[in-house]
Amino acid sequence: MTWNLSPVPQGSTYLRGENYTTAASTATAVNQAAQQYGQFLTFLAGALVGVAGGALVGALQEFLDAREGAKKRSRNELADSDLG
């Protein structure tokens, strides 16, 4: 936290001296525990999406391979029935 006190003279006088006001000051704070927990949850969500995406790609590859194998088997069966 940083506090700044900067007296700035105003136009009117107050008692013996000039009327001073302080410049606007801000105070910020960060809840580090909440921030770390949020980052941990973001990491877990990313890991879960990565694992699910990898599983989806693997399942798609297996599905396409099985479909191609079924087409080859049906062609071979048709060719065998034509010969027989």
Residue spans of the domains in the chain: they are: 7-83
Enter the tokens of residue 24.
């606007």
Would you say residue 81 has pLDDT above 90?
A: no
Contacts of 65-73 with CB under 8 Å at 24 or more apart are none
- Cα separation of 66 and 60, whole Å? 10
Single-letter amino acid, residue 11? G
- The reported pTM is 0.52
pLDDT (tens digit per residue) in 33-80: 999 999 999 999 999 999 999 999 999 999 999 999 888 888 887 777
Would you say residue 13 has pLDDT above 50?
A: no
